[in-house]
Structure 1
Amino acid sequence: MSEAFYDSDLTDQEWQIIVPLLPAEKSVGRGQKVNLRSVFNAIVYRADNGVKWRKLPKDFPA
């Protein structure tokens, strides 16, 4: 994610709780191109602010 930070962004301590719950990256196929923390922050931002997906700030991943 770019330099923008939001009140809804996870702290490092919160992120460390979430990481073990996420699926591991697969050893075959293309590598993961999206930062999962940025995706998770976008989901939390949307839930916290009640905005539509297309109205998310542009610094969140597609």
Structure 2
Amino acid sequence: MSDVTQSVSSAFWLIPEADSELLGIVALSLRVSLTASIVALLVGAPIGASTSLQALPCRRI
């Protein structure tokens, strides 16, 4: 069995066991993803709104 296949097999066996280390990793990943999404929203929404409201010269094309 190759190393990749063995690693994937081991990973799938950890999921139903709900190992505390695995749950900690999943929780951290979700927190990082949610934080990044919120920061992107807080930065991107005002920029997008101001861009859409500005009169741009190429807008009449």
- TM-score (ref. length: structure 1): 0.28
